[in-house]
Amino acid sequence: MSMIQRFLLAIVVVAVDLAVFFLPLTAFFMAYILIANPHWFRKFLEGLNPADRPT
């Protein structure tokens, strides 16, 4: 393997690493919550407010 191939391989590895770990996973999760409005999340939110719980 020549030095140029090693250099290009290193650049590809760094680029893939940046692409995978730079994704704003929290933003994607929040977008999913806003778009899909899943039942489990609504139930979680209802459980956070103790004033709304029946006594």
pLDDT tens string 11-51: 999 888 887 777 777 888 888 988 998 999 988 888 887 77
Please indicate whether residue 31 or residue 52 has the higher confidence score (pLDDT). 31
CA atoms of 49 and 43, how far apart (whole Å): 11
What is the separation of C-alpha 43 from the centre of its chain, rounded to a whole number of angstroms?
Answer: 21
The tokens for 52 are 């709304």
**Dihedral Cα 26, 29, 30, 33, nearest 10 deg:** -160
Q: What is the rounded distance in angstroms from the CA atom of residue 50 to the CA atom of residue 4?
A: 63
Domain boundaries, the chain: 24-55
Tokens of 24: 């704003």
pTM of the model: 0.47
